[in-house]
Structure 1
């Protein structure tokens, strides 16, 4: 089940650097809030596939469920409820505000992954 995949690892690094660049240099009303969320599920997918040999649909489903769980935690103000609102790491990882549009961005990111994997790379998984 565990198997290192260099290509997905390289993609993980590229998507991570893109996310960092967006966080540091983009302060708008579309790229940062929505396109960043679209890309973050692709980043998480590539990270998972870099280390675990699982099917496209299983990996995509796990990432989408994880993303929805994080957004749900934001809805319930989990960071504050567990007393970590002053922790920069906790607020970055868990976030601090729910946005329904984020769920759409996550879903569109996962759909894009499946389309690219199934159509362009002819994945048989």
Structure 2
């Protein structure tokens, strides 16, 4: 693993993060977007965030790692990990970690990772 700043991925991460904030704050009443699309997009955010700072030689392994990480966080929610770590409801970390387990979230993370996998398989034409 080699650390290397990628401005392209950093800017993309910021853009995706702003979309997530928009979903959480302004589109919270649009059920499909808030409940599902946000969870699909969050794996894209994790992918671009890692690629912002680390030179990744195997995108497939990174995507599998993100999927595993997402599953671990979701299953930790089953055990109320945010509360056990002492985060108060409504605090930033409580919101980031989450507070309720959902099999639908697991499915959304898998869909997001599948989308990422397909996306990285598409190679731009060489000039």
Unaligned runs of 5+ in 2: none
Q: Distance in 2 between matches of 1:86 and 1:108?
A: 28
Q: Distance in 1 between matches of 2:115 and 2:89?
A: 35
Aligned positions of 1:32-43 closer than 5 A: 32-43=34-45
TM-score between both structures, scaled by the size of structure 2: 0.88
Give the conservation status (yes or no) of the 8 Å contact 1:22–1:36: yes
Which residue number corresponds to residue 14 of structure 2?
13
Displacement of 1:91: 1.2
**Out of 100, 118, 121, which is 2:121 matched to?**
118
The change in CA–CA distance for 1:24 and 1:86 in structure 2 (over 3 A counts) is closer
Which residue number corresponds to residue 52 of structure 1?
54
Name the count of aligned residue pairs.
122
Displacement of 1:121: 3.9
User: SS of 1:97's equivalent?
Assistant: coil
Which residue number corresponds to residue 73 of structure 1?
76
Give the conservation status (yes or no) of the 8 Å contact 1:34–1:105: yes
Q: RMSD of aligned C-alpha atoms?
A: 1.5
